[in-house]
Chains A and B, each alone.
Chain A
Amino acid sequence: INLEYYFSRVDNYKFGAGTKLPHNVVGLFAVANSSDGDLRPGLPLQMIEVHDPVRLLLVVEQRPDIVLRTVQSEPSMYEWFINEWVHLIAVDPDSREIYRFRYGAFERYQPVSAVQQTENLAAVIENAREMETSHITDATRENLPVYTLNQ
């Protein structure tokens, strides 16, 4: 389902079903755009413009070497991580440092933006800049950085 969503989102004209408006049901098992034309694979435009397909990000609270040994233990699982289908983050429980899995090893992650301190998290969320449309180029500009909460 994820891949169907993803490919329909990437190119809705070729991999997806296009807009649902001209859809014509063919024999109770498929849709085509009208009386001529090919059957449409994938999902229609109206289904996939609600969400942005984003790769799964796994955050594991464990030392990076242990996490690395674990994911490498099973080759079919390791495929997911080494081929970048899924992102993997290890947070060291003692030093609270973030390690990112990249190119087969864990490397320290430097936050891009400066980490700020705040008393009132709710105010920060409410006053953040809202995205103009739900298209992915605007959605990624929505400024809600990830914080680590130090208790």
Chain B
Amino acid sequence: MDRMMAWLPAGEVDWDAAYKDQLPRVYNYLRFRIGNETDAEELTSRTFEKAWRSRNLYRRDLAGFSTWLFTIAQNLAIDHLRSRRSHLPLEAALDVVTLQTPHDDAERDSDLTRLAALMRHLSQRDQEIVALKYGADLTNRDIARLTGLSESNVGTLLHRAVRELRSGWESRETRHER
């Protein structure tokens, strides 16, 4: 993942190369995570803007560049998803089901919309892992580093999540929220 960084002196980031390499990953991670093209584009912009502004604070000895970048993207995604939810009392929040997000009519039949509907039936943790794996195209090891889970746990969770998504995808039905 950080192969492009290998030849750079510590602390130096080739931002052109970083942009070219990481933009598709961040963009697709946010597409998978948010389920909406417009919002994904906006959050992608904010991710890179914040990374740029904070570039002097990036420390290579603490985290790989993409880990650092995806941490920014993750926090933006969490804040965005939380701000869209209704505020619920604490006890209800512990059992809450993710509320359905508004759809863009033009995307109604798109694969992304279809996937977003299926993803909502996964836990938030599983949604995150799927988005990192198939949106960001990260390895299980990188996902483990970002999520704090073990690599084997990531593999197991991914396997189950993909199986559930495939079942829904192949049945060509979109289940609705409770």
Say whether A and B bind each other.
no
